[in-house]
């Protein structure tokens, strides 16, 4: 690095922030935030694991060097600090440190590595081209303006140097060309908080009468007010908000406590004096003014409904009769020989059996996988979550108006430390994840786990009266969990010995519920005054297949009923079926739903890479558990903000200008979002081109009593599997030694062939000793970036 690197600035700048860490909320929706607590410095250690060679092996991935540097991985701490310092040094940004910034100050929301263009990466990997230039992707929250905007910038190249630093609006990856700017509907958070409290105070008599509660913007408030997302944008900016009861314990039951009183605000513009309270709704009756509502409330015959009140029904703690034998320690998976995979922690590189890949981690979408190779050949350039939609409906304006686009909140910030032995097996190994937040880099410790497991069924078997053969089904998983507000999304990428990759999403945590009154057409009544608010979860994944090169084609093979006369059928027509082979020729054909009765197989092949039998080598994509697309058609909430959710899968031409299907600020301008996914489809040929598949998982969720207190991962489950189709000449499951063949029934008795399998010649002195020490569960590690203070990391559990 040249001595002129901008990073020297770090040590010259005055301390603009207090030395004690301090945070402001990026996200004004407090119910989506974790609540405050103090710092914590303990760390996980492996002290309790046996280490003697006679004992079963301790966890820990095997070490190896990645074949090349990870070009997708995040910025270094120094890079982030240098960019922060440079941005603060530039008067045109007029930045205020986050901790001190108010509604009319500009602040720095994000600094991340700008993911390099595929063109540049492939030039590096395939053509010995240079390492792609590194740029920082910056988001500035411009609030010092009548027209507040978020702006995406590119700053670089890195390392920053005095004479070459440039900053330019980031526009090329977006279909909307407005210099990377999107309006900021949340700029007036402080004003809005005050407004809510003020509106609520005007009916204090009623909130006290109905619920013995108040919301006045005070520390001792016993009610909470929050509402729709996205805001209504078709006629100015309209808000709808609801009163909710407060949770009474540490357990985060808030979203189970709606109270059924709603108000609407026209909050157009930044001048709150022009905002208007436009009405109240209670028990499905709309009142245009507070006076009208109050008059009705105190009239004879006004129907008052009950309140949803916190209690053990909403808590996940053990309750009820313990089933017989349940206090006996249950079955558990162990890894007697330790881990059987490699990592290069410096490069976020992972290798298991014949699979290898790199990982990256972003604020918006969390964990991504890159350059997934199988048997040395790239099969997937990128596998990554793009967006998660939770679209509600209801007879009330808050449920009806809710359609969360979760990258707004970000999966990265909420990918917390995993609970060892519960979220992942006790023997799993872990990686950290980091993201930028308020002039710090925040690290979720042990937030990504890696582990192998033996499935409860073999991958292959066959038996006759002479022999029985079976092969163990050992698979590898990389997993994160992101708790975005009430919901816990568990993302698992599973790799199998048959060459398949399973993309699995499960959901647990708290549902967001509806007040029960007249909501029967939108959900089941599940508690005293509670309705399980119906909603669709749809999550979009980018799967940039590169099957033996970038020239790929999406083919179809449909099982179709047919009536045929054959040379041998004596002139008779026979009712049978055929395999109808086809191709997705171009982007006009490329918005696809799974066929009725699962009749059509979709396979990405390289037609220039046929096998010796003339079949194209490829990877198939198909649901491994049910998936959905969005029920709602032309959603009034979403307009153009989630066009990727309308179908099950899509194929587009890969372009450096179309790297993502969604943007975290889609919700801020739903009629003209940063990325209109429909604009990707312009009829281009998809035959032997570099193609990208965008595929959805998800579920229709109509919560029932069994969702109380928390939805269960068992049934809240959706997944896609990518599996080789004519890719190799035989099943790769034969390569493992973890198989057996029994020859029996002969004169010699039964012989057992084990093919050189390893044995587990080790002891476990105490199974209990294999259990993780959960007292070591900690909060986030934080490193201050401005002023840069790399040598004094501290721990923090307060939510961002």
Handedness of CA 307, 195, 393, 295 (dihedral sign): positive
Q: What residues between 132 and 161 interact with its own copies by CB under 8 A?
A: none
Cβ–Cβ < 8 Å for 547, 527: no
- Beta strand segments in 611-704, E: 616-625, 649-653, 691-701
Near its own copies by CB under 8 A: residue from 183, 622, 663, 785:
622
| Shortest Å distance, C-beta 3 to its own copies | 42
274 vs 578, beta carbon nearer its own copies: 578
| Shortest Å distance, C-beta 672 to its own copies | 18
Q: Of 189, 229, 406, 648, which residue is the catalytic one?
A: 406
Near its own copies by CB under 8 A: residue from 334, 345, 656, 678:
334
| Shortest Å distance, C-beta 253 to its own copies | 10
According to the binding rule CB under 8 A, does residue 12 interact with its own copies?
no
According to the binding rule CB under 8 A, does residue 297 interact with its own copies?
no
DSSP secondary structure of 231-290: PB-SSS-EEEEEEEEPP-SSS--GGG-EEEEEEEEE--SS-GGG-EEEEEEETTEEESSH
Near its own copies by CB under 8 A: residue from 51, 53, 465, 791:
465
352 vs 358, beta carbon nearer its own copies: 352
171 vs 290, beta carbon nearer its own copies: 290
Residue 406 catalytic?
yes
Site string for its own copies, 170-189 (x = CB under 8 A): --------------------
Q: Of 262, 487, 515, 788, which residue is the catalytic one?
A: 487
What is the arrangement of strands in the sheet containing 530-533, beginning at the earlier edge strand?
514-515, 530-533, 523-527
Query: CA angle 70-73-77, nearest 5°?
Result: 120
Q: Where are the alpha helices (DSSP H) in 62-116?
A: 77-89
Contacts of 279 (CB under 8 A, 6+ apart): 263, 264, 286, 287, 288, 289
Q: Kindly give the pairing relationship between strand 341-344 and strand 62-63.
A: parallel
Q: What residues between 252 and 281 interact with its own copies by CB under 8 A?
A: 252, 262, 264, 279, 281
Q: What residues between 742 and 771 interact with its own copies by CB under 8 A?
A: 742-747, 749-753, 755-768, 771
According to the binding rule CB under 8 A, does residue 296 interact with its own copies?
no
φ/ψ region of 344 (left if φ > 0, alpha if ψ in -120 to 50, else beta) reads beta
Shortest CA distance to 597 belongs to which of 633, 632, 561? Answer: 561
Neighbours of 607 (CB within 10 A): 17
The region of 28-36, 358-366, 377-385, 684-692 touching its own copies under the rule CB under 8 A is 28-36
* DSSP classification of residue 116: P
Q: What residues between 525 and 584 interact with its own copies by CB under 8 A?
A: 525-528, 534, 536, 557, 559-562, 566-569, 574-580
The region of 80-88, 190-198, 296-304, 737-745 touching its own copies under the rule CB under 8 A is 737-745
According to the binding rule CB under 8 A, does residue 509 interact with its own copies?
yes
Shortest CA distance to 688 belongs to which of 553, 528, 507? Answer: 553
For 27, 225, 268, 755, the CA distances from 238, given in Å and listed in that order, are 19, 16, 7, 69
According to the binding rule CB under 8 A, does residue 714 interact with its own copies?
yes
Near its own copies by CB under 8 A: residue from 732, 783, 784, 785:
732
For 86, 433, 528, 664, 784, the CA distances from 101, given in Å and listed in that order, are 18, 27, 43, 21, 17
Q: What residues between 408 and 447 interact with its own copies by CB under 8 A?
A: 416-417, 419, 422-425, 427
Distance CA 93, CA 101 (A): 13
According to the binding rule CB under 8 A, does residue 778 interact with its own copies?
yes
The region of 151-159, 475-483, 548-556, 655-663 touching its own copies under the rule CB under 8 A is 475-483
* DSSP classification of residue 455: -
The region of 97-105, 122-130, 494-502, 545-553 touching its own copies under the rule CB under 8 A is 494-502
| Shortest Å distance, C-beta 170 to its own copies | 31
Q: What residues between 211 and 230 interact with its own copies by CB under 8 A?
A: none
Q: Which residues are catalytic?
A: 406, 487
């Amino acid at each position: 690095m040249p001595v002129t690197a901008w990073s020297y600035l770090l040590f010259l700048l005055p301390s603009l922030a207090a030395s004690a860490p301090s945070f402001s909320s990026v996200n004004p929706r407090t119910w989506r935030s974790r609540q405050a607590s103090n710092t914590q410095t303990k760390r996980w250690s492996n002290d309790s694991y046996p280490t003697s060679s006679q004992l079963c092996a301790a966890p820990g991935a095997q070490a190896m060097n990645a074949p090349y540097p990870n070009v997708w991985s995040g910025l270094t701490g120094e890079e982030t600090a240098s960019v922060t310092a440079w941005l603060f040094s530039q008067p045109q940004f007029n930045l205020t440190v986050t901790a001190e910034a108010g509604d009319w100050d500009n602040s720095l929301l994000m600094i991340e590595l700008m993911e390099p263009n595929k063109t540049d990466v492939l030039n590096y990997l395939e053509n010995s081209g240079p390492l792609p230039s590194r740029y920082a992707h910056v988001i500035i929250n411009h609030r010092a303006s009548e027209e507040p905007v978020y702006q995406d910038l590119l700053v670089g190249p890195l390392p920053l140097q005095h004479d070459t630093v440039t900053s330019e609006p980031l526009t090329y990856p977006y279909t909307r060309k407005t210099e990377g700017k999107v309006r900021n509907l949340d700029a007036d958070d402080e004003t809005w908080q005050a407004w809510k409290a003020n509106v609520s105070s005007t009916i204090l008599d009623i909130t006290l009468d109905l619920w013995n509660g108040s919301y006045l913007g005070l520390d001792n408030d016993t009610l909470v007010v929050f509402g729709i997302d996205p805001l209504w944008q078709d006629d100015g900016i309209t808000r709808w908000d609801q009163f909710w009861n407060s949770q009474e314990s540490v357990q985060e039951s808030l979203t189970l406590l709606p109270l059924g009183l709603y108000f609407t605000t026209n909050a157009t513009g930044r001048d709150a004096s022009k905002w208007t309270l436009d009405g109240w709704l209670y028990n499905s009756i709309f009142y245009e003014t507070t006076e009208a509502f109050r008059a009705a409330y105190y009239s004879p015959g006004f129907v008052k409904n009950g309140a949803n009140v916190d209690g053990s029904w909403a808590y996940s703690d053990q309750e009820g009769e313990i089933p017989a034998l349940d206090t006996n320690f249950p079955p558990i998976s162990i890894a007697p020989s330790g881990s059987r995979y490699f990592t290069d922690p410096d490069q976020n590189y992972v290798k298991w059996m014949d699979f290898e890949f790199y990982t990256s981690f972003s604020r918006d979408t969390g964990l991504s996988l890159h350059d997934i190779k199988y048997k040395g050949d790239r099969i997937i350039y990128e596998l990554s979550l793009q967006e998660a939609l939770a679209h509600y409906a209801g007879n009330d304006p808050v449920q009806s108006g809710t359609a969360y686009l979760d990258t707004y909140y970000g999966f990265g910030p909420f990918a917390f430390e995993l609970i060892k032995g519960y979220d992942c097996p006790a023997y799993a190994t872990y990686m950290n994840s980091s993201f930028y937040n308020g002039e710090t880099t925040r690290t979720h410790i042990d937030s990504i786990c890696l582990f192998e497991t033996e499935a409860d069924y073999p991958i292959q078997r066959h038996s006759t009266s002479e022999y029985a053969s079976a092969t163990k089904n050992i698979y590898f998983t990389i997993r994160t969990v992101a708790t975005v507000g009430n919901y816990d999304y568990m993302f698992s990428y599973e790799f199998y010995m048959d060459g398949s990759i399973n993309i699995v999403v499960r959901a647990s945590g708290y549902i967001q519920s509806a007040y029960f009154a007249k909501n029967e057409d939108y959900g089941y009544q599940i508690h005293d005054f509670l309705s399980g608010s119906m909603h669709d979860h749809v999550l979009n994944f980018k799967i940039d297949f590169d099957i033996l090169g970038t020239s790929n084609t999406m083919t179809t093979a449909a099982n179709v009923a047919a009536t045929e006369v054959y040379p041998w059928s004596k002139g008779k027509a026979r009712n049978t079926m055929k395999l109808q082979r086809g191709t997705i020729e171009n982007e006009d054909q490329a918005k696809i739903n799974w066929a009725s009765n699962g009749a059509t197989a979709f396979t990405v092949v390289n037609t220039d890479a046929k096998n010796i039998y003339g079949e194209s080598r490829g990877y198939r994509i198909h649901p491994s558990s049910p998936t959905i697309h969005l029920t709602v058609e032309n959603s009034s909430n979403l307009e153009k903000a989630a066009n990727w959710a309308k179908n099950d899968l899509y194929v587009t031409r890969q372009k450096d200008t179309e790297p993502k299907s969604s943007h975290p600020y889609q919700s801020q301008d739903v009629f003209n979002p940063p990325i209109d996914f429909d604009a990707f489809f312009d009829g281009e040929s998809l035959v032997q081109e570099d193609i990208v598949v965008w595929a959805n998982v998800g579920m229709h969720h109509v919560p029932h009593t069994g969702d109380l207190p928390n939805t269960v991962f068992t049934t809240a489950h959706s997944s896609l599997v990518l599996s080789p189709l004519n890719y190799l000449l035989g099943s790769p499951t034969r390569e493992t030694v973890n198989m057996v063949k029994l020859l029996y029934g002969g004169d010699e008795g039964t012989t057992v062939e084990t093919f050189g399998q390893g044995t587990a010649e080790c002891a476990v002195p105490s199974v209990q000793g294999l259990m993780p020490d959960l007292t070591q569960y900690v909060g986030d590690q934080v490193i201050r970036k401005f002023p840069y203070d790399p040598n004094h990391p501290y721990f923090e559990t307060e939510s961002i």
